[in-house]
Structure 1
């Protein structure tokens, strides 16, 4: 056939790589160049449409996450909340940062119950812990999120593969106004707020750290 290299390039662009025997008569047709060009235009339109659908879906998820995150409980009373949904909301909000070089690994136990809580305040906990984890890895590494039931509590683990927390600093990280960040970059209140919110839920927070693995574990009673 004429111009085989051009035909091959066009077929690859369309997405046809194998089983060419069935379309050989078409390729040998005198009008094959026009047919291939029309097929290429249709394939390009389809790819563009799929890109728009993906972008629209992502935008919808972000809008939903923002609405969920900004919604507050005006009654001041605990309500039943889904921990995993809250964490996934925060991951959606951090999507643009995570996609730059952070691999997210989730390990959620099946069939977890809802917990009696202040969902908007727990979202502040997940926001702070995920934000700190990304910063500890300099936006490049593995972020592991684990949720499981244990001893009538839900245990949420946030693990990063960053540089770790020095042993002499570890006992002070929950102190108000204590920070290792340069002046103007941190208030030292983030983990203090996290600890207060967790204690408000009659829970507790623990941290272990070595180089390459720092884990914050939050335990929230299932029903209090």
Structure 2
């Protein structure tokens, strides 16, 4: 162990007693008595050192600091302690700490390397999550394409219906309205207003029952052609409170008036279909945009858990409608969670994808989101075959999968677990024959 060097200095920084272990300064053979402290330093302002000595003497407080000297052409580090020895003298104790400084420098460098490695690992993990997300989207793309083509087809068909109506009827409409009496014109527009009102979609069986009921009412009023008139009223969407239309229905031109009203009602329905299909397509595009987004800011934001789940459900709509009943149990007034929404979407994607596959796209999928104390708990339960007990301990292992080649990378649940842990959350699984339940518990935070 290197011996410390002791210097006794007066108020002006002069050496009063022969220092010990002067070899540490590279001056073992010199008589240093009456030299000033500035002798040991290559300093542009030697007054700095005796000012420190004066400060120690004035305040009577010990002063600790590190400094370096050039000794034998190399840098040597010292830890110094200046303390009061007498009224006008201090003792300066210096210890060689070069080895410690080297160790600190090496440790600092190693920490920097570790920080860089951690940053690279985090970047790689983000890329892996994005890659897995895109892989899942690739498996969904056929269904998503169908979900987009369906509303586009509905729009195309509705536009064609509207165009056909105007081409076939535009010339006849002026003459039609000229023939109508004021009373019949009022009845005609009343038919259109009633047809535009929202009504429940009836099944084929219900339509037959309603048609018979309307027909009986018309026959009771001795209205001719009750059967065909009942069909037309049903097509227009008027199945209740038809008594106000009895005068119209008794008119000898009632069939022509009803048929024209039906054509106008078809145009109205076509515009509704276009609006509905447009909303559906916009919802799918928004879900795709939200799902595929890659936020590189690395910052958490406040987000609603159920919004993310709904985004993923939209993308899986094609698979779900094959035979899956979705039961949603969303709590009221759920608070937002400080999170990485894009990464949580990957959690919901993997869990929902696994659940649908486990059921073969046929069964009951239950999604339960509720607040428990300071957490949001999301449970996804399927009615599939369950996870065999012998493989349960391995389901979170990277690259472990029981799926056929090409249907899974074995990274899904591993990624889910890492994302949940990144959010300081918990992931639990329960399984039995006919039921598997994954629960994600995330802390409610508004700031880090």
* Structure 1 length-normalised TM: 0.93
Q: Tell me, what secondary structure is at the counterpart of 2:328?
A: strand
1:1-224 map, 5 Å: 1-223=223-445
Matches of 1:195 and 1:222 in 2, distance apart?
Answer: 18
Q: Tell me, what secondary structure is at the counterpart of 1:155?
A: strand
Q: Which moved more, 1:190-199 or 1:41-50?
A: 41-50
Cα distance, 1:216 vs. partner? 0.3
Structure of higher CA gyration radius: 2
The equivalent of 2:119 in structure 1 is: none
Matches of 2:380 and 2:325 in 1, distance apart?
Answer: 13
Matches of 2:306 and 2:352 in 1, distance apart?
Answer: 14
Cα distance, 1:37 vs. partner? 0.6
Matches of 1:190 and 1:37 in 2, distance apart?
Answer: 58
Greater than 6 Å deviation, 4+ residue runs: none
CA-to-partner distance for each residue in 1:81-136, whole Å, 9 max, x for gaps? 22121111111221222222212111122222222211111110001111111111
Q: Which moved more, 1:194-203 or 1:46-55?
A: 46-55
Matches of 2:323 and 2:435 in 1, distance apart?
Answer: 17
Matches of 1:21 and 1:80 in 2, distance apart?
Answer: 56
Matches of 1:153 and 1:30 in 2, distance apart?
Answer: 70
Matches of 2:407 and 2:337 in 1, distance apart?
Answer: 34
The equivalent of 2:196 in structure 1 is: none
Matches of 2:400 and 2:431 in 1, distance apart?
Answer: 18
Matches of 1:111 and 1:21 in 2, distance apart?
Answer: 46
CA-to-partner distance for each residue in 1:55-78, whole Å, 9 max, x for gaps? 111111112222222223222122
Cα distance, 1:4 vs. partner? 2.7
CA RMSD, 1 decimal: 1.6
Count of matched residue pairs: 224
* Structure 2 length-normalised TM: 0.48
Matches of 1:33 and 1:82 in 2, distance apart?
Answer: 54
Instruction: Provide structure 2 residue ranges, at least 5 long, that are not aligned to the other structure.
Output: 1-222
Instruction: Provide structure 1 residue ranges, at least 5 long, that are not aligned to the other structure.
Output: none
Write 1 or 2 for the structure with the bigger share of helix: 2
Cα distance, 1:19 vs. partner? 3.0
* Larger relative contact order, structure 1 or 2 (CA cutoff 8 Å, min sep 6): 1
Matches of 2:421 and 2:278 in 1, distance apart?
Answer: 39
Matches of 2:362 and 2:334 in 1, distance apart?
Answer: 30
